[in-house]
Structure 1
Amino acid sequence: MSLLDNLKAKLAPAKDKVSDLAQQHGDKVTHGLDKAAKVVDEKTKGKYSDKIQTGTGKAKGAMDRLAHKETDGATPPPDMPPPPPAP
């Protein structure tokens, strides 16, 4: 078993716990992201609105990926490139 396989095996329980927490509290986190984005946008007087919206969208996307467990692991997340073909 390679080092990477050992690491994945040891981190699997943590990944499951994070995924469970994301499923339970995803709405609270999303609300917090929106609230933080609004405050930052107000403090910067709208100067960085587009960048704030982009960052908030990416954070929400990451939250969604954490909240949805992949049962078979065969389908990569939409923004991840497919794995290289086996030699």
Structure 2
Amino acid sequence: MSVMDKLKQMLKGHEDQAGKGIDKAGDFVDGKTQGKYSGQVDTAQAKLKEQLGGDGGQDGQPPQS
């Protein structure tokens, strides 16, 4: 079992909280880097949410299919 599978199992039922944590971490990184890498941070946030099952959309909007 991979680390990602273990994380998914632990977060099952708490996808919204995981999504909020990912957003908060991304905002922290943006603040520390003064927004210099905001594009890369946004991409990383989206990929993490996709992998972990957090809310796939940004800004509270549902994910697009």
Question: TM-score per shorter chain, which class?
Answer: 0.5 to 0.7
Structure 1 residue 47 corresponds to structure 2 residue 32: no
Task: Output the TM-score relative to the length of structure 1.
Answer: 0.50
Which structure 2 segments of 5+ residues have no match?
54-65
Give the C-alpha shift of residue 33 in structure 1.
0.4
Q: Between Structure 1 and Structure 2, which shows a larger proportion of helix residues? A: 1
Which structure 1 segments of 5+ residues have no match?
1-10, 65-87
Q: Which residue of 1 aligns with 2:59?
A: none
Q: Is the alpha carbon distance of 1:50 and 1:28 closer, same or farther for their aligned partners in structure 2, counting shifts above 3 Å?
A: same
Give the C-alpha shift of residue 50 in structure 1.
0.2
Aligned length: 51
Cα distance between partner residues in 1 of 2:36 and 2:7: 34
Deviations 1:40-72 (A, max 9, x none): 0011001000000000000000012xxxxxxxx
1:37 to 21, 26, 36: 26
- Find the structure with the greater CA-based Rg: 1
Which consecutive aligned stretches of 4+ in structure 1 deviate over 3 angstroms post-superposition?
17-21
Deviations 1:8-64 (A, max 9, x none): xxx5xxx5x755543311111110000010010011001000000000000000012
Identity %: 36
